[in-house]
Structures are given as C-alpha cells and as structure tokens.
C-alpha cells in the first residue's frame, strides 16, 4: 500500500538557520511522482516541486533544495538561510498508478525572528 | 492567468442545513479535486471529477456529494450538516488524470463553520 510519512510534526528554528524537512514514502510502483506543497497561514496550498521516480538528480531553487534518494525512499526538503516568511505547514505527497495523491501529515515549520 | 477560485470564502451554517461550495478550475484544466482539512489535521481526499464524471471518492458518507459542469467548474454539496463538518474545504485542479499531467493547483479554500 502507498504511504507517505512526515515524522516531524513541528520544527522551530531561528531565522537564518538551515532546516531539513523529512519525507519517507512507500509504493510498489516503479513509476511514480513525488511532490512538496507549502501551506501558509492563509490556507492555500502552494505547489513547490514535482519529481518523477526516474530522476534522482537533486534540485536547487534559490534557498530551496530537494534530495531524492530511491535507496532510502526519501524525498527531503531543505531550506537554507530560513526566513520568517518560510513559516508554514509543508506537505509531501506521492502519486503512482493509483491516481490519487497520497499525502503526508505535514510538518509545521516555525521560523523565529 | 487566473488560478483556482473558490466561493464563498467563509460559510456559516447550523446543524442539519445544507452547504454548497463552488470551485472554478484553471482554464484548460479538466480535473477537479475536493479535499477536507479539519483544524490541525492533514488533507482528506473527498472527490475527484474529470470530464464531468465522478472518478473517485474518499471515505466520506453519501451526504457529501458534488458535480462537475460542462465548463469544468464544480460544486460540493454537504447535506445534513454536522458539527464535525466544520473545516477548510480545498479545491484543486489539474490538466487531466494521466500520471504526467498530475500537478494539482489549489484554491484558497472555503472555511465552513457549522454551529
């Protein structure tokens, strides 16, 4: 069965610290997609990134970077030099042949000034 | 280009009433998804519509229903409201249902309060 685990319920760091959000997934499919979304206090989920199972290259976008490792079934998200505006709930999700997005429980990130 | 729009932003109802929530997808998107997010909880999948057809539903009672119109907009109806239905209801749209067209873009949500 498909499953996404975000073991960190809440993380609190001081501004400018680096922070990594963990995501571990389970699927029997060889073709699948992984996603990260951000949900600020306003409530709207914002799409951040999608990776497919055949592309294990790490990706960097400004202060954001993602580390996809099939060997450990992990798709971790790192924010470098965190800012207060990064405070939000971050969700990891998986989509495979089941067609439905399987969501993790979310990690609440608090960046203190 | 307009994103996913949901209306109303807030909705207050009393127990036993019916609520209707509306969603307009991004232009060109044919799939619409509904999610419920109760306070402090994750996203619970409710319904998925594509090309006017209901393709899948989550583990919710039949009093949660909806439809998709020819212009791909969608309605979520909740009958016989219960206090536990108080939540943020999020709508998302995507280009289609294939694995490759599967990025879901979300609206700002409708916050339903049942008193």
Task: Tell me which chain B residues have a C-beta less than 8 angstroms from the C-beta of A100.
Answer: 45, 48, 56
The tally of CA atoms less than 13 A away on the side-chain side of residue B4 is 31
Give pLDDT, residue A1: 79
Backbone angles phi, psi at A43, to 5 degrees: 105, -25
- Please provide the average confidence, as pLDDT, over all residues in chain A: 92
Task: Indicate the residue of A50, A95, A105 with minimum beta-carbon distance to B42.
Answer: A105
Task: Indicate the residue of A42, A95, A105 with minimum beta-carbon distance to B99.
Answer: A95
A106 contacts B108? CB cut-off 8 A: no
- What element of type H or E holds A90? strand A88-95
A10-14 vs A107-112, strand pairing mode: parallel
What region, left, alpha or beta, does residue B28 occupy, with left being phi > 0 and alpha being psi -120 to 50 degrees?
A: left
The Cα–Cα gap between A16 and A104 comes to: 26
* Residue in the block written with tokens 């207060």: A84
For A58-71, what is each residue's pLDDT tens digit? 788 899 999 999 99
Q: Which of A16-25, A26-35, A95-104 has the least mean pLDDT? A: A95-104
Q: Beta-strand (E) ranges in chain B?
A: 5-7, 10-13, 19-24, 31-37, 44-50, 53-57, 64-68, 74-78, 87-94, 105-106, 110-114
- Please provide the average confidence, as pLDDT, over all residues in chain B: 93
For B13-67, what is each residue's pLDDT tens digit? 999 999 999 999 999 999 999 999 998 778 999 999 999 999 999 999 999 999 9
Give pLDDT, residue A37: 96
Give pLDDT, residue A93: 95
Measured between CA atoms, how close is B60 to chain A, in angstroms? 15
Task: Indicate the residue of A45, A100, A104 with minimum beta-carbon distance to B90.
Answer: A45
CB of A104 closer than 8 Å to CB of A8: no
Nearest to B76, CA basis, from B114, B109, B40: B109
């Amino acid at each position: 069965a498909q499953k996404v685990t975000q073991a960190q319920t809440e993380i609190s760091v001081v501004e400018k610290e680096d922070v990594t959000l963990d995501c571990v997934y389970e699927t029997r499919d060889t073709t699948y997609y992984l996603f990260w979304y951000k949900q600020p206090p306003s409530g709207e989920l914002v799409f951040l990134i999608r990776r497919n199972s055949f592309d294990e290259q790490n990706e960097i976008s400004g202060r954001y970077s993602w580390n996809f490792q099939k060997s450990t079934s992990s798709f971790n998200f790192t924010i470098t030099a965190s800012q207060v505006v990064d405070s939000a709930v971050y969700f990891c999700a998986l989509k495979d042949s089941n067609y439905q997005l399987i969501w993790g429980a979310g990690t609440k990130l608090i960046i203190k000034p | 280009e307009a994103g996913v729009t949901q209306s109303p932003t807030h909705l207050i109802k009393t127990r036993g009433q019916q609520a209707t929530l509306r969603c307009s997808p991004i232009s060109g998107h044919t799939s619409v998804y509904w999610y419920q997010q109760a306070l402090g909880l994750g996203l619970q999948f409710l319904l998925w519509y594509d090309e006017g057809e209901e393709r899948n539903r989550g583990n919710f009672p039949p009093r949660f229903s909806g439809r998709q119109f020819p212009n791909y907009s969608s309605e979520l109806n909740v009958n016989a409201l219960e206090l536990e239905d108080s939540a943020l209801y999020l709508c998302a749209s995507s280009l289609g249902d294939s694995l490759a067209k599967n990025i879901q873009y979300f609206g700002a949500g409708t916050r339903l309060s049942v008193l």
